């Protein structure tokens, strides 16, 4: 059994007015299968056209349980799933979960929406200014946006150390200033240190800062990294990117143990 539990958007195909209603529907179990999106926005069902008028961008379509049709979408930088009801007259926006509490659309949203966006961003990350933590010959490369005032950035740094110290993974920190007025000056100061990697490590280990100010160059790097983060509509730090055989993936916040292993490519050494 699957459950659709969320705040929903209900649409009448003839009257594209939106109402917000609480909903909990029991639906038949099923497996999501990807199919193509209609070639033209005009071919979208009318409830989806109404969502499009409200700012939704549709990236692909997939089969969903209970006779629903799933649509992978994004709005205001957030990835969302929209489901067309069997009568074709209404759309429900939210998270579809099965009896095990798993989001049945997560993989499809990752493949259809986040995957292509992350792949494009990966090349931009490599071209921006980053500071490496770990062995430069480590095959596993991880990028993360880090703010000096972010406690979750510190936790991620601490949690990643077993893989870093073993030489298996290198983490490339893109220092940004997004959380507090002092964030950008602190980030610039860390980048201006004689050894920025050691300065970042010492900051995340003890909270201390180098006794220097940022240079014009380091301030430029922080500004460019912050602008890249804003352009990608990434709302908070840390935001971490890793690549595996299935593509480029994004993890928001301090990763859970399972996510941490996925980022690092395996169990802690």
pLDDT digits (tens, 9 = 90+) for 154-166: 999 999 999 999 9
Burial of residue 53 (CB within 10 Å: 0-12, 13-18, 19+) is exposed
Residue 67 pLDDT more than 50? yes
* Percent of the chain predicted with pLDDT > 90: 68
How far lies 138's CA from each of 9, 166, 168, in Å? 47, 9, 5
The pTM of this model reads 0.72
Would you tell me how many other CB atoms lie within 10 Å of the CB of residue 41? 13
At residue 225 the predicted structure's pLDDT band, cuts being 50, 70 and 90, is very high
At residue 42 the predicted structure's pLDDT band, cuts being 50, 70 and 90, is low
pLDDT of residue 18: 31
Are the C-beta atoms of residues 57 and 73 closer than 8 Å to each other? yes
Average confidence (pLDDT) over 201-215 = 95
**Three-state SS at 70:** strand
**Lowest-confidence segment of 108-117, 167-176, 189-198, 212-221 by average pLDDT:** 108-117
How far lies 56's CA from each of 73, 108, 116, 217, in Å? 6, 17, 17, 39
Taking the CA atoms of 111, 55, 41 and 65 in sequence, report the sign of the dihedral they define.
positive
∠62-66-70 over CA atoms, to 5°? 20
Residue 251 pLDDT more than 90? yes
The answer for 221, left when phi > 0, alpha when psi is -120 to 50, beta otherwise, is alpha
At residue 242 the predicted structure's pLDDT band, cuts being 50, 70 and 90, is very high
Are the C-beta atoms of residues 197 and 132 closer than 8 Å to each other? yes
Q: Which helix (H) or strand (E) holds 61?
A: strand 57-63
Inter-helix orientation angle 183-192/216-231, to 10°? 130
Average confidence (pLDDT) over 11-38 = 33
pLDDT of residue 20: 30
What domains are there in the chain, each with its CATH number? Answer: 2-105 (3.10.450.70), 128-264 (3.40.30.10)
Mean model confidence pLDDT for the chain: 85
Q: Which of 111, 94, 112 is nearest to 103 (CA)?
A: 94
Burial of residue 229 (CB within 10 Å: 0-12, 13-18, 19+) is buried
pLDDT of residue 182: 97
**Three-state SS at 257:** helix
Are the C-beta atoms of residues 17 and 105 closer than 8 Å to each other? no
Which residues 6+ apart lie within 8 Å of 74 measured at CB?
Answer: 56, 57, 59, 80, 113
Which residues 6+ apart lie within 8 Å of 104 measured at CB?
Answer: 2, 30, 32, 64, 65, 96, 97, 98
Which residues 6+ apart lie within 8 Å of 191 measured at CB?
Answer: 129, 131, 175, 214, 218, 221, 222
């Amino acid at each position: 059994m699957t459950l659709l539990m969320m705040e929903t958007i209900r649409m009448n195909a003839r009257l594209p007015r939106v109402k917000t209603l609480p909903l909990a529907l029991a639906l038949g179990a099923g497996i999501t299968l990807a199919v193509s999106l209609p070639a033209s926005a005009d071919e979208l069902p009318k409830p989806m056209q109404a969502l499009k008028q409200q700012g939704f961008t549709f990236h692909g379509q997939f089969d969903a349980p209970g006779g629903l049709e799933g649509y992978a979408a994004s709005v205001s930088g957030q990835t969302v799933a929209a489901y067309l009801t069997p009568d074709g007259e209404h759309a429900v926006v939210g998270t579809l979960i099965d009896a095990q509490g798993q989001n049945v659309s997560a993989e499809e949203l990752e493949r259809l929406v986040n995957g292509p966006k992350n792949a494009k961003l990966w090349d931009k990350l490599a071209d921006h200014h980053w500071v490496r933590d770990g062995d430069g010959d480590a095959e596993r490369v991880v990028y993360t946006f880090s703010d000096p005032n972010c406690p979750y950035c510190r936790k991620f740094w601490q949690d990643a150390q077993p893989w870093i110290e073993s030489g298996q993974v290198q983490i490339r920190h893109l220092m940004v200033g997004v959380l507090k007025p002092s964030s950008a000056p602190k980030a610039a100061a860390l980048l201006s240190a004689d050894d920025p990697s050691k300065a970042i490590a010492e900051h995340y280990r003890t909270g201390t800062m180098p006794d220097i100010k940022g240079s014009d160059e380091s301030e430029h790097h922080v500004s460019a990294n912050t602008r890249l983060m804003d352009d990608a509509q990434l709302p908070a730090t840390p935001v971490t990117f890793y690549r595996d055989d299935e593509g480029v993936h994004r993890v928001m916040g301090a990763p859970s143990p399972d996510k941490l292993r996925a980022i690092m490519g395996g169990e802690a050494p």
